[in-house]
Amino acid sequence: MDFSSFLTSLGTSFVIFVVLMILFGLLSSRPGNNVVYYPNRILKGLDPLEGGYKTRNPFSWIKEAMSSSERDVIAMSGVDTAVYFVFLGTVLSILVLSGVIVLPLLLPLSVTDKGSKGQTTSKGTFNELDKLSMAHITEKSPRLWAFVVACYWVSLVSFFLLWKAYKHVSLLRSEALRSPDVKPQQFAIVVRDIPPVPQGQTRKEQVDSYFKAIYPEAFYRSMIVTDNKQVNKIWEELEGYKKKLARAEAVYEGSKTTAKPEGTRPSNKTGFLGLIGKKVDSIEYYNEKINELVAKLESEQKITLREKQQNAALVFFSSRVVAASAAQSLHAQMVDTWSVFDAPEPRQILWSNLKIKFFQRELRQYLVYFIVALTIFFYMIPITFVSAFTTLDNLVKILPFIKPIVRIKVLRTVLEAYLPQLALIIFLALLPKLLLFLSKFEGIPTESHAVRAASGKYFYFTVLNVFIGVTIGGTLFRAFKTIQKNTSELVPMLASSLPGNATFFLTYVALKFFVGYGLELSRIVPLIIFHLKKKFLCKTEAELKEAWAPGDLGYGTRVPGDMLIVTIVFCYSVIAPLIIPFGALYFGLGWLILRNQALKVYVPSYESNGRMWPHIHNRVLASLILYQITMLGYFGVKKFFYTALLIPLPILSLVFGFVCAKKFYPAFERPALEVAAHALKEVPNMELIFRSFIPPSLSSEKIDDDQFEDALSHVSRTSHV
Amino acid sequence: MDFSSFLTSLGTSFVIFVVLMILFGLLSSRPGNNVVYYPNRILKGLDPLEGGYKTRNPFSWIKEAMSSSERDVIAMSGVDTAVYFVFLGTVLSILVLSGVIVLPLLLPLSVTDKGSKGQTTSKGTFNELDKLSMAHITEKSPRLWAFVVACYWVSLVSFFLLWKAYKHVSLLRSEALRSPDVKPQQFAIVVRDIPPVPQGQTRKEQVDSYFKAIYPEAFYRSMIVTDNKQVNKIWEELEGYKKKLARAEAVYEGSKTTAKPEGTRPSNKTGFLGLIGKKVDSIEYYNEKINELVAKLESEQKITLREKQQNAALVFFSSRVVAASAAQSLHAQMVDTWSVFDAPEPRQILWSNLKIKFFQRELRQYLVYFIVALTIFFYMIPITFVSAFTTLDNLVKILPFIKPIVRIKVLRTVLEAYLPQLALIIFLALLPKLLLFLSKFEGIPTESHAVRAASGKYFYFTVLNVFIGVTIGGTLFRAFKTIQKNTSELVPMLASSLPGNATFFLTYVALKFFVGYGLELSRIVPLIIFHLKKKFLCKTEAELKEAWAPGDLGYGTRVPGDMLIVTIVFCYSVIAPLIIPFGALYFGLGWLILRNQALKVYVPSYESNGRMWPHIHNRVLASLILYQITMLGYFGVKKFFYTALLIPLPILSLVFGFVCAKKFYPAFERPALEVAAHALKEVPNMELIFRSFIPPSLSSEKIDDDQFEDALSHVSRTSHV
């Protein structure tokens, strides 16, 4: 890639960004689009636009985002979102603080050096940027001392700010957990691996007597987990028919025009997709179906509660401290029985995972690790090819028939600028679903944990495949015909191939922030989809609401993407310091735009009180260590005599990580009692707490308290007596 | 070593053993020696000899030991001792079960093979034993299949019996912990890393308010840990003078003979060691000193309680379950404050370690690991030399002037048989004290934990230095002049040098069990010391009691010694199966003799309820893995084509260890609530429980409850207000 294609790439990205910004300014001020641009505020019952329509200008959202406090974010979008902003803010601060010293220190040194002939950042075609990078420094030059200082500076700034961030998040978490509001999950624990029911007892009696013996005063009640597959299916079918009925009624109402006041009763066919079969009156047919299913649901509910009990339960305590203590204490002498966990929010329990047994969970975990490792390994091959082929020169060499296309100058430039990056981005978009599925397969009991686990796997994937894959892959391909022998020296090879890929990553970062965040802010795609649905599909209020439901911030996939940028920017921060402002721009823009989205658009689908932070912290630290090791290798390549001076850095990072893990981590893993011991603002209504954990498919209005209780307590006795 | 010196060694050992047995038979039946041979029974207030004197014969102890049940051992010597017997019994069973298959399978195969010329078990001088070992099998022989089967058999038998043992010990532990007796340590927790006292509060108020908030009902009281160095010193001085006074009074009484009814008042000099200085009347002088010290002690006690409070405390709960739960729950959001542990027995608390702060403990731990690693490394050098030099031939070569001594045939044979083993045993005797000191320096809060930690270090030391050191050391020394190049291939080298050292270890094991256990049973040394003390030193009953105090079984040093034997026997079990009966004899004799000692002699100095077992289990497993890897190497040396068939073995061992750790270990690390929830036979007297933790130097009769309370609660307020 030469200088002009680099500028073209930057320029096009920027133009797209500006266009999207203008679109956002225009579209977001139209009241008809409020449900797309302010759904979070609408769902919270707030006025979509704070200041009213008059005072607004297209840039007022910037002011609003800048002036919003962490409290506002927590109030509108929860602690998890606030923690995500701590991450963005911390990385931004690291980059700004690093850049302030590193840029003025290193750039003049690089430019004024006589220059080494051997290495360039762009294979010789891109001299303007070459001069700004460490590759331009002569081997063994005393100027390398400044680069050593820069390495230390970046690391120390990172340590300092990461420490502050961890402390801050720990505080946020403890504040959320000590809140005087009654949160049902703070009064419950999840019990798994319950041993087989002893003769003559029901499952419920077994659980109750076990916990009553240990917590004679604080034990409130237990809820046995059941296999809800069947009942869920019926319930979903029922809900589907209810929606269809509402829709048919709306259609019927709509057809009552003044010309035809009696309207047309809608009809449908009963066969496959409503295309074949007998034609029936829709409203009657759906009503019939609903009545049928309600009866079916009721009997299935009873069967489920009686006969489909499993080896897991939720246990409720009347005290928050006792529940917190119970969730982390060893209950049974044999650890593969009666294992306990703190209860998550009801909405994020993965019910079907609760029954999986202790050693099966372990086994599944290792199996999944193995599959993920395989995936990472086999994805490496295509990505390596992509990065090697997608320089146009290579493509032309291998596929000569595309030459005519490439001859068109403009097309060539655009292709050259975007092709590799686009290939990469599309590649990465395929994976998260698979990883989330695999993580759930491990037997993880909560949605947030599964997302965290998937995100962790995705991080390994991106760093290993994209960063190391592209960097070494490009080198390998070039080196393939010439050297072919020293493939074993990974660190020096990675280090020496870094500068050659600097421009690739510069454009990658720029593409991500201009186009990615532009699309994010303008919400063009959801807007179009919403308007299409509204026009052609939606007939009822509920359907309309569903059409603009914004979803959540989705930081499970966002974080690994950001992490890749963190890794890239860290690794190039000293080699090609020009990447620092790009990185800062990425995180700065990200902070600003996502702040707007968090406050106005996305609605969190669960709350884990910042449980994500240790995960993020460790990965930032891992990037830092990768950077430090790479630098060690690169100084070696530069034949700098005092390279060993950099050895303390990775060791320091490990010690730092160790201290953080010891000091802060346990409070993220299990609830601290001093936090749980804070006073509540009201006496908890245990009945409500208990009911909040009943899955919707089991909580019918017709089954009242006593029946639920009754059903729960009389089960499985029949099978034993 | 040739065959005759091997037989000499065995023979001498056996003769010594028989002599010691006869001595034991004679000496133990004399009532005057009862306090040496039955101190445990005497201290427990039982009749020293169960059956009375008439029915006894010199071998009745064997019958008694054999017929004693595990309950007897627990009653007489506690759970820790019972667990030690589980260890001995398990290893014995493994060896017997292994031997039953391995010996009849492998020995005929070895003997009938044509024999390989290259390798022998004794450097060619010891053909009789050579023929019984795997070294005698021809390379690539199909007979090696039988050895593969033997490897699997030994491993599977070990897995099976280790699993059974772990389960059994887990049961023993839970039985001990669920006992209806009130044990003070089950109602207390140790709190460390208490943050600085806030302005205007005392330390006690701080601790009390913290725990009262979390445990409003079950919290009973707290005891702040104080710096007792000064008060302990005064108290010990006082106790010393009390003893001296008693002694002086006894001497005075003794001097009142009929000839001289008024007696001679004893006198002593006040200077250094009673040798110089003014001569005074002892009884008056000691009385004076005691009065002086009592006053000093009282004022020091007050000062200690008021001003020497530290950042640690014991917190008492009125419920066993709450204490068990509190001991394992996270209390503070920041983990380096308010860290909790389950309280050990009062007698095994290492008070002075409690104040050490969280990260200092971590730091100290790593520092100690580093020192231990250095020690292991630097001990390696002398031991390598010892094992290389102590074949007499080598000695003669290097020190020609000892030739005349060596020429004497008998001396030569004895020297050759014992020299290396003696050197080794003396070497190993030097270390335990150092390791215990280092372990305590880590900041470990209990005696039993420190002993466990020291024992672990000792295990690494023995295995690394003795086993690998002697084996490879000998090889290295021989290989030094000839090959010198392939020192990097450790496993094949270890494997190929094993057979050459088989006889060394055969005699080592034999020496250990015949002479070691002979001395153990006959208690010759303690007997002589006791009689000497009784005759020349002891004047009072208390002094006499001190003279025969038997001490405890000391399994902190016993276990690593046994472990070394386990490692040796495992590693040679298939290569030179003849070692199996020797190993079985070691553990069989050990079981028998120590059973006698546990029932009648030793008095345990603390009880950790089998906390030692996971430690033992893991090390047996580590020996097994070392054995499996060695075999892998040795089959490689034998150029066996299907060597890879042995690869699953170490993997299986790791999985087995992992499953055990997951299933059983947590209940050893922290108290299981279902166990603690068992009913007590009486309402615990909290006052007594609290008092049992007051160190003797602080519990004076003159300081009554209120004063202690008063002193505890009014401290450090002065310094803040």
Residue B165, pLDDT > 90, answer yes
Residue A268: the pLDDT is 75
Residue A116: the pLDDT is 52
Instruction: Give me the percent of chain A exceeding a pLDDT of 70.
Output: 80
- Which tokens is A499 given? 């500068």
Q: Compare CB distances from B328 to A330, A335, A672 and report the shortest one's residue.
A: A330
Asked whether the beta carbons of A235 and A296 are under 8 A apart, the reply is no
Contacts of B667 in chain A (CB under 8 A): 330, 332-335
Q: How far is B173 from chain A (nearest CA, A)?
A: 9
The answer to whether the Cβ–Cβ distance between A328 and B328 falls below 8 Å is yes
Q: Once rounded to an integer, what is the mean pLDDT over residues A80-100?
A: 93
> Exposed (0-12), middle (13-18) or buried (19+): which is A312, by Cβ within 10 Å?
buried
- Which tokens is B14 given? 């056996």
Contacts of B174 in chain A (CB under 8 A): 333
Three-state secondary structure readout of A642-683: CHHHHCHHHHHHHHHHHHHHHHCCHHHHCCCHHHHCCCCCCC
The answer to whether the Cβ–Cβ distance between B330 and A213 falls below 8 Å is no
Residue A715, pLDDT > 60, answer no
Q: Once rounded to an integer, what is the mean pLDDT over residues A215-237?
A: 86
Residue A118: the pLDDT is 46
Contacts of A336 in chain B (CB under 8 A): 662-663
Residue A303: the pLDDT is 82
Model confidence pLDDT, tens digit, residues B41-81: 888 777 776 655 445 666 778 888 888 888 888 888 889 99
Nearest CA in chain A to B337: A663
* Least confident piece of the model among A84-93, A115-124, A156-165, A655-664: A115-124
The answer to whether the Cβ–Cβ distance between B328 and A326 falls below 8 Å is no
* Least confident piece of the model among A687-701, B48-62, B162-176: B48-62
Structure-model confidence comparison of residues B210 and A131, the more confident one:
B210
Model confidence pLDDT, tens digit, residues B550-585: 778 877 778 888 888 898 888 888 888 888 888 898
Residue A308, pLDDT > 80, answer yes
Measured on CA atoms in the order A113, A116, A117, A120, is the torsion positive or negative?
negative
* Least confident piece of the model among A48-57, A582-591, A615-624, B205-214: A48-57
Q: How confident is the model at residue A656 (pLDDT cuts 50, 70, 90)?
A: very high
Backbone Cα Rg of chain A? 30
Dist CA B388 CA B400 (whole Å): 16
Dist CA A242 CA A543 (whole Å): 12
The answer to whether the Cβ–Cβ distance between A672 and B332 falls below 8 Å is yes
Residue B718: the pLDDT is 38
Measured on CA atoms in the order B564, B565, B570, B575, is the torsion positive or negative?
positive
Structure-model confidence comparison of residues B545 and A183, the more confident one:
A183
Q: How is B674-714 classified by DSSP, letter by letter?
A: HHHTSPPSS---HHHHHHHTS-TTT--SSS-HHHHHHHHHS
The closest of B466, B677, B690, B424 to B563, measured between CA atoms, is: B466
DSSP A191: E
* Least confident piece of the model among A316-330, A608-622, B534-548, B573-587: B534-548
Contacts of A672 in chain B (CB under 8 A): 330-333
Instruction: Give me the percent of chain A exceeding a pLDDT of 90.
Output: 13
Structure-model confidence comparison of residues A500 and B475, the more confident one:
A500
Contacts of B215 in chain A (CB under 8 A): 321
The answer to whether the Cβ–Cβ distance between A333 and B665 falls below 8 Å is no
pTM over 0.90: no
In residues, how long is chain A? 721
In residues, how long is chain B? 721
Residue A169: the pLDDT is 94
Q: Compare CB distances from B329 to A213, A329, A338 and report the shortest one's residue.
A: A329
Residue A161: the pLDDT is 95
Residue A632: the pLDDT is 84
A421: CB partners within 8 A, 6+ apart: A504, A507, A508, A511
User: Which residue in this structure is represented by tokens 């690089």?
Assistant: A110
The answer to whether the Cβ–Cβ distance between B335 and A674 falls below 8 Å is no
Residue A487: the pLDDT is 42
Q: Across chain B, what does the average pLDDT equal? A: 79
* Least confident piece of the model among B43-52, B307-316, B515-524: B43-52
Residue B496: the pLDDT is 61
Q: How far is B547 from chain A (nearest CA, A)?
A: 42
Question: Which positions in chain A have a beta carbon within 8 angstroms of at least one beta carbon in chain B?
Answer: 170-171, 173-174, 210, 213-215, 217, 321, 324-326, 328-336, 338, 358-359, 362, 659, 662-667, 670-675, 677
Dist CA B465 CA B379 (whole Å): 7
Residue B706: the pLDDT is 45
Residue A387, pLDDT > 70, answer no
At B390 the three-state DSSP class reads coil
Q: How confident is the model at residue A50 (pLDDT cuts 50, 70, 90)?
A: low
Residue B501: the pLDDT is 67
Q: How far is A364 from chain B (nearest CA, A)?
A: 14
Residue A173: the pLDDT is 92
Q: Once rounded to an integer, what is the mean pLDDT over residues B143-163?
A: 91
Dist CA B303 CA B309 (whole Å): 10
Residue B83: the pLDDT is 93
The answer to whether the Cβ–Cβ distance between B334 and A170 falls below 8 Å is yes
Contacts of A179 in chain B (CB under 8 A): none
A101: CB partners within 8 A, 6+ apart: A150, A153
Residue B690, pLDDT > 50, answer yes
The answer to whether the Cβ–Cβ distance between B329 and A328 falls below 8 Å is yes
* Least confident piece of the model among A657-671, B7-21, B459-473: B459-473
The answer to whether the Cβ–Cβ distance between B333 and A675 falls below 8 Å is yes
Backbone Cα Rg of chain B? 30
B421: CB partners within 8 A, 6+ apart: B504, B507, B508, B511
Dist CA B169 CA B189 (whole Å): 24
Question: Which positions in chain B have a beta carbon within 8 angstroms of at least one beta carbon in chain A?
Answer: 170-171, 173-174, 210, 213-215, 217, 321, 324-326, 328-336, 338, 358-359, 362, 659, 662-667, 670-675, 677
Residue B58: the pLDDT is 66
Residue A705, pLDDT > 60, answer no
Nearest CA in chain B to A213: B677
Residue B390: the pLDDT is 57
Residue A322, pLDDT > 80, answer yes
Q: How far is B22 from chain A (nearest CA, A)?
A: 47
The answer to whether the Cβ–Cβ distance between A667 and B334 falls below 8 Å is yes
Q: Which of A674, A675, A678, A680 to mutate to test the interface with B (most CBs of B within 10 A)?
A: A674
Residue A704, pLDDT > 80, answer no
Q: Once rounded to an integer, what is the mean pLDDT over residues B128-146?
A: 75
Residue A665, pLDDT > 70, answer yes
**Most confident range, picked from A247-251, B375-379, B569-573, B588-592:** B588-592
Asked whether the beta carbons of B603 and B552 are under 8 A apart, the reply is yes
The closest of B312, B617, B605, B306 to B443, measured between CA atoms, is: B312
Q: Which of A194, A215, A334, A668 to mutate to test the interface with B (most CBs of B within 10 A)?
A: A334
Asked whether the beta carbons of B187 and B684 are under 8 A apart, the reply is yes
Q: How far is A42 from chain B (nearest CA, A)?
A: 36
Dist CA A24 CA A58 (whole Å): 8
Q: How far is A495 from chain B (nearest CA, A)?
A: 30
Model confidence pLDDT, tens digit, residues A599-626: 888 888 888 888 889 999 999 999 999 8
Residue A88, pLDDT > 50, answer yes
Structure-model confidence comparison of residues B703 and B473, the more confident one:
B473
User: Which residue in this structure is represented by tokens 């499970």?
Assistant: A556
Q: Hey, what amino acid is at B469?
A: G
Residue A488: the pLDDT is 46
Residue B654, pLDDT > 50, answer yes
Residue B484, pLDDT > 50, answer no
Dist CA A92 CA A621 (whole Å): 15
Residue B319, pLDDT > 70, answer yes
Residue B50: the pLDDT is 61
Residue A3: the pLDDT is 66
- Alpha helix segments (H runs only) across A512-554: 517-522, 524-536, 541-548
Q: Once rounded to an integer, what is the mean pLDDT over residues A366-373?
A: 90
Residue B642, pLDDT > 90, answer no
Model confidence pLDDT, tens digit, residues B468-477: 666 665 554 4
Q: Compare CB distances from B333 to A321, A338, A667 and report the shortest one's residue.
A: A667
Dist CA B164 CA A704 (whole Å): 49
Residue A249: the pLDDT is 81
Dist CA A599 CA A76 (whole Å): 6
Q: How confident is the model at residue B514 (pLDDT cuts 50, 70, 90)?
A: confident
The answer to whether the Cβ–Cβ distance between B330 and A170 falls below 8 Å is no
For residue B175, how many other CB atoms are within 10 A of its CB?
16
Q: Which of B173, B360, B673, B675 to mutate to test the interface with A (most CBs of A within 10 A)?
A: B673
Q: How is A377-435 classified by DSSP, letter by letter?
A: HHHHHHHHHHHHHTSHHHHHHH-GGGHHHHHSHHHHHHHHHHHHHHHHHHHHHTSHHHH
Residue B630, pLDDT > 60, answer yes
Dist CA B551 CA B40 (whole Å): 10
Q: How far is B194 from chain A (nearest CA, A)?
A: 13
User: Which residue in this structure is represented by tokens 């001085």?
Assistant: B237
Residue A382: the pLDDT is 62
Structure-model confidence comparison of residues B466 and A188, the more confident one:
A188
Residue A89: the pLDDT is 94
The answer to whether the Cβ–Cβ distance between A667 and B362 falls below 8 Å is no
Residue B655: the pLDDT is 93
Q: Once rounded to an integer, what is the mean pLDDT over residues B251-261?
A: 75
Measured on CA atoms in the order B106, B107, B112, B117, is the torsion positive or negative?
positive
- Which tokens is B696 given? 């003797």
Q: How far is B213 from chain A (nearest CA, A)?
A: 6
Contacts of A319 in chain B (CB under 8 A): none
Dist CA B198 CA B589 (whole Å): 61
Q: How confident is the model at residue A653 (pLDDT cuts 50, 70, 90)?
A: very high
Contacts of B660 in chain A (CB under 8 A): none
Q: How confident is the model at residue B260 (pLDDT cuts 50, 70, 90)?
A: confident
Residue B717, pLDDT > 50, answer no
Dist CA A173 CA A617 (whole Å): 15
Q: Hey, what amino acid is at A55?
A: T
Residue A366, pLDDT > 80, answer yes
The answer to whether the Cβ–Cβ distance between A665 and B335 falls below 8 Å is yes
Residue A479: the pLDDT is 47
Q: Once rounded to an integer, what is the mean pLDDT over residues B537-544?
A: 76
**Most confident range, picked from A452-466, A552-566, B265-279, B640-654:** B640-654
Q: Hey, what amino acid is at A261?
A: P
The answer to whether the Cβ–Cβ distance between A335 and B665 falls below 8 Å is yes
> Exposed (0-12), middle (13-18) or buried (19+): which is A295, by Cβ within 10 Å?
exposed
The answer to whether the Cβ–Cβ distance between B667 and A335 falls below 8 Å is yes
